[in-house]
């Protein structure tokens, strides 16, 4: 499952701790007692961790909160972005999350995503297929502008054929006008 | 590239009989419905006939909304030929016409004779004998309905046609999409394609044998297929990046208009089907959405949906010089228009006050008539005789098919027994045609 590999690199630099003697500023020098020089070898263990990479699970990308500390946990990026009726403009409230996706893609050229565009049931099916594609294209443009590569992104539109909610009301329609980011 | 996509695939998918049949119910009949009685047909062969002709004819006429039919239980006599008709029996019942007939063995086949008796005139005004096999009984009955309908209304009947439609059923393991073909009365349903991925935009070729549709079956990406439903073969005709949608056969069946977004934007293209190699011609060039092409009867222009003006509206384009003209101005969403076969008008999805209706736009006189009153009406398809149209709507949260006459006077529903039904497409031709056996017995309306 986990692709995180932890290498225990044992680099053992020897640290020399030298305790120097104290010097007195007194004009009358006290008889100097030569302090014994203690030399102690301390073996320090340095653990080198390979940065934890974003991971794909169930079509979602899971990114570590701290790339160097697995115990810091991870978070799954939201994979669904919503749109207004007959609109294909990426809403401002989705920008921060999309920036994260772009960062993940830009930093991991091996990752690919499929942007699946959807529409609500209102309007005609073929127009909605076109609208779904426009929405997915809008998300693609955003990701490209933020550093993702075209070769990492595939766009497909399902129009109104695959609703997330089956209701015939505003609440369902809002949830159905969307683009889903599916990592592969 | 294209060659790969043109691979002929013989379908392993059998045309399985589907379990759901559409049940037609008339919700509004014509005000001036003609009163007609269809008497049980006489049969003197061995065994019982698998179908009752009079029941099929009665249902056809009643469901057209233009006729009021008489139940057999109320008939005072059951004649099967003109000489047995006792006019007073039918005058008492206030009938205007009586249909009588018989079925006889005719070699290995069956011969059906039917007569239309005009009660007022007291004479037969139509008589035909047609021959078919016992498997053709429903077709023979629909033929009789067509002939009677034409005799009485002056409009060619459309009872022998078929309807292509899509059903979606939710199952515990996900959605199942089916592409079905049924007789126009909802009987004899066959599933021609079944998939877990979307199937949409089914449309007929003018030959009535081939259909085209969009299926996402390959890798969950859209592709256009042409499928011969008689010999059960099909071919994938497009495999482009992006949209592959809205197929529409030209009136001569030699070209297929479609929408592709391979160049980055939904544009309309025309694929020549009979040239080798096939040629693809792009006809729209606009950054807006251009989709849903539909041909004019002469094949020289198309109409399509475009949001180039800000909202989806209907435009027409001449294919020789690609000149575009906007056709719709009323309403803030007009889409998926199809021209009536006579070219006089178009039907389309039309939104006003947030509600989607099916509307008829008379292109000659410029008026717009809202034909349907429900909220989510879509995918109108016009009958080959231009008399009525069928469309998809929602009733009680379920997708059903419904119909309305072009004048708005007659309405019917075709609810299925299960699942959502959508995207009906009326076949352009009769499934089977029969030539009357003895031409000299055919009386015409010259009498009138």
Closest CA to B314 of B365, B260, B359: B359
Question: Looking at beta carbons, which residues of chain A come within 8 Å of B423?
Answer: 125
Are residues B200 and A125, on separate chains, in Cβ contact within 8 Å?
Answer: yes
Do residues B369 and B408 make contact, with C-beta atoms less than 8 angstroms apart? yes
CA distance A124 to chain B (A): 6
pLDDT for the residue numbered B21 = 64
pLDDT for the residue numbered B433 = 92
Q: Is there a domain that residue A138 lies in?
A: yes
Q: Is there a domain that residue A146 lies in?
A: yes
Nearest by CB: B335 against A124, A158, A159: A124
Nearest by CB: A133 against B261, B311, B379: B261
Q: Is the pLDDT of residue B214 over 50?
A: yes
Q: Is there a domain that residue A129 lies in?
A: yes
| B110 or A10, which is more confident | B110
Segment A87-103 shows an average pLDDT of 93
Segment B130-134 shows an average pLDDT of 95
Are residues A125 and B243, on separate chains, in Cβ contact within 8 Å?
Answer: no
| B425 or B343, which is more confident | B425
What residue in A sits closest to B336 (Cα-Cα)? A124
Q: Is there a domain that residue A177 lies in?
A: yes
Q: Is there a domain that residue A104 lies in?
A: yes
Are residues B378 and A125, on separate chains, in Cβ contact within 8 Å?
Answer: yes
What is the distance between the alpha carbons of residues B201 and B294, in angstroms, rounded to a whole number?
A: 12
Q: What is the pLDDT of residues B222-236, one digit of tens each?
A: 999 999 999 999 999
Please report, rounded to a whole number, the percentage of residues in chain A having pLDDT higher than 70: 76
Domains of chain B: residue spans and CATH: 2-17+164-426 (2.120.10.30), 31-158 (3.40.50.10070)
CA distance A159 to chain B (A): 10
Q: What is the pLDDT of residues A125-143, one digit of tens each?
A: 999 999 999 999 999 999 9
Grade residue B192 by pLDDT with cuts at 50, 70 and 90: very high
Q: What is the residue-averaged pLDDT of chain A?
A: 81
Are residues B356 and A123, on separate chains, in Cβ contact within 8 Å?
Answer: yes
Q: Is there a domain that residue A35 lies in?
A: no
Q: What is the pLDDT of residues B304-332, one digit of tens each?
A: 999 999 999 999 999 999 999 999 999 99
DSSP A161: S
Q: What is the pLDDT of residues B33-48, one digit of tens each?
A: 899 999 999 998 888 8
pLDDT for the residue numbered B30 = 76
pLDDT for the residue numbered A31 = 57
Question: Looking at beta carbons, which residues of chain A come within 8 Å of B245?
Answer: 126, 129-130
Q: Is the pLDDT of residue B165 over 50?
A: yes
3-state SS record for chain B:
CHHHHCCEEECCCCCEECCCCECCEEEECCCCCEEEEECCCEECCCCCCCCCHHHHHHHHHHHCCCEEECCHHHCCCCCCCHHHCCHHHHHHCCCCEEEEEEEEEECCEEEEEEEEEECCCCEEEEEEEEEECHHHHHHHHHHHHHHHHHHHHCCCCCCCCEEEEEEEEEECCEEEEEEEEEECCCCCCEEEEEECCCEEEEEECCCCCEEEEEEEEECCEEEEEEEECCCCEEEECCCCCCCEEEEEECCCCCEEEEEECCCCCCEEEEEECCCCCCCEEECCCCCCCEEEEEECCCCCEEEEEECCCCCCEEEEEECCCCCEEECCCCCCEEEEEEECCCCCEEEEEEEECCEEEEEEEECCCCCEEECCCCCECEEEEECCCCCEEEEEEEECCEEEEEEEECCCCCEEEECECCCEEEEEEECCCCCCCCCCCCHHHCCCHHHC
pLDDT for the residue numbered B151 = 96
Q: Is there a domain that residue A124 lies in?
A: yes
Q: What is the pLDDT of residues B403-419, one digit of tens each?
A: 888 888 888 888 777 78
- A59 touching chain B per CB within 8 A: no
Q: Is the pLDDT of residue A100 over 60?
A: yes
A10-14, A37-41, B147-151, B175-179, range with the lowest pLDDT: A10-14
pLDDT for the residue numbered B238 = 96
Grade residue B280 by pLDDT with cuts at 50, 70 and 90: very high
Q: What is the residue-averaged pLDDT of chain B?
A: 90
- A67 touching chain B per CB within 8 A: no
Q: What is the pLDDT of residues A104-125, one digit of tens each?
A: 999 999 999 999 999 999 999 9
Q: Is there a domain that residue A3 lies in?
A: no
Segment B301-305 shows an average pLDDT of 97
pLDDT for the residue numbered B3 = 42
Q: Is the pLDDT of residue B445 over 80?
A: no
Angle at the Cα of A146 (from A145 to A149), degrees rounded to 5? 75
Is the alpha carbon torsion for B178, B182, B187, B188 positive or negative? negative
pLDDT for the residue numbered A63 = 82
Are residues A130 and B423, on separate chains, in Cβ contact within 8 Å?
Answer: no
Q: Is the pLDDT of residue B369 over 60?
A: yes
Nearest by CB: B246 against A126, A133, A167: A126
Owning domain of residue A157: 55-183
Q: Is the pLDDT of residue B185 over 50?
A: yes
Domain count, chain A: 1
Q: Is the pLDDT of residue B354 over 50?
A: yes
| B445 or B319, which is more confident | B319
Q: Is the pLDDT of residue B17 over 80?
A: no
Question: Looking at beta carbons, which residues of chain A come within 8 Å of B333?
Answer: 86, 123
CATH code (residue A99) = 3.30.1330.60
Q: Is the pLDDT of residue B394 over 80?
A: yes
- A50 touching chain B per CB within 8 A: no
């Amino acid at each position: 499952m986990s692709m995180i590999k932890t290498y225990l690199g044992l680099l053992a630099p020897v640290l020399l701790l030298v305790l120097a003697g104290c010097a007195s500023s007194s004009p009358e020098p006290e008889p100097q007692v030569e302090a014994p020089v203690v030399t102690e070898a301390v073996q320090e263990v340095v653990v080198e961790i390979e940065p934890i990479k974003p991971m794909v699970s169930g079509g979602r990308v899971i990114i570590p909160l701290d790339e160097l500390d697995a115990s810091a946990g991870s978070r799954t990026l939201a994979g669904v972005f919503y749109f207004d009726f007959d609109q294909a403009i990426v809403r401002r409230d989705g920008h921060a999350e999309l920036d994260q996706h772009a960062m993940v893609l830009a930093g991991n050229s091996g990752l690919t995503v499929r942007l699946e565009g959807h529409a609500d049931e209102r309007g005609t099916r073929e127009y909605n297929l076109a609208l779904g594609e426009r929405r997915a294209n809008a998300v693609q443009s955003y990701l490209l502008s933020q550093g993702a590569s075209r070769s990492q992104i595939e766009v497909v539109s399902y129009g109104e054929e695959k609703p997330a909610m089956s209701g015939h009301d505003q609440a369902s329609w809002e949830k159905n006008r969307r683009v889903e980011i599916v990592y592969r | 590239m294209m060659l790969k996509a043109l691979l002929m695939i013989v379908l392993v998918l059998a045309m399985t009989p589907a379990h759901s049949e559409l049940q037609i119910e008339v919700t509004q009949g014509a005000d001036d419905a003609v009163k007609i009685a269809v008497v049980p047909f006489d049969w003197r062969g061995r065994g019982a006939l698998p179908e009752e002709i009079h029941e099929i004819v009665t249902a056809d006429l009643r469901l057209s909304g233009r006729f009021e039919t008489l139940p057999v239980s109320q008939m005072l006599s059951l004649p099967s030929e003109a000489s047995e008709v006792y006019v007073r029996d039918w005058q008492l019942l206030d009938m205007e016409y009586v249909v009588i007939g018989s079925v006889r063995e005719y070699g290995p086949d069956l011969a059906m004779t039917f007569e239309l008796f005009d009660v007022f005139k007291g004479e037969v005004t139509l008589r035909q004998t047609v021959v078919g096999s016992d498997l053709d009984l429903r077709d023979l009955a629909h033929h009789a309905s067509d002939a009677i309908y034409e005799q009485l209304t002056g409009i060619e009947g459309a009872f022998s046609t078929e309807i292509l439609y899509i059903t979606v059923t939710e199952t515990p393991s996900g959605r199942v999409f089916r592409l079905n073909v049924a007789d126009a009365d909802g009987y004899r349903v066959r599933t021609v394609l079944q998939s877990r991925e979307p199937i949409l935009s089914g449309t007929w070729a003018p030959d009535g044998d081939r259909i085209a549709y969009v299926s996402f079956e390959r890798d969950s990406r859209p592709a256009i297929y042409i499928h011969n439903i008689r010999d059960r073969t099909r071919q994938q005709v497009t495999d482009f990046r992006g949209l592959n949608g809205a197929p529409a056969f030209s009136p001569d069946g030699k070209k297929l208009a479609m929408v592709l977004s391979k160049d980055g934007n939904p544009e309309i293209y025309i694929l020549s089907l009979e040239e080798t190699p096939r040629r693809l011609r792009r006809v729209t060039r606009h950054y807006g959405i251009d989709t849903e092409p539909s041909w004019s009867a002469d094949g020289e222009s198309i109409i399509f949906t475009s949001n180039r003006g800000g909202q989806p509206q209907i435009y027409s384009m001449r294919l020789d010089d690609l000149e575009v003209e906007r056709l719709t101005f009323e309403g803030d969403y007009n889409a998926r228009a199809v021209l009536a076969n006579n070219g006089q008008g178009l039907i389309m999805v039309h939104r006003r006050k947030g509600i989607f209706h099916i509307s008829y736009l008379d292109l000659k006189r410029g008026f717009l008539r809202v034909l349907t009153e429900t909220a989510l009406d879509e995918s109108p398809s016009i009958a080959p005789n231009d008399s009525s149209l069928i469309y998809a709507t929602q009733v009680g949260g379920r997708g059903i098919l419904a119909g309305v006459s072009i004048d708005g006077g007659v309405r019917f529903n075709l609810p299925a027994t299960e699942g959502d039904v959508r995207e009906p497409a009326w076949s352009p031709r009769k499934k089977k045609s029969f030539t009357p056996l003895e031409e000299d017995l055919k009386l015409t309306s010259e009498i009138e």
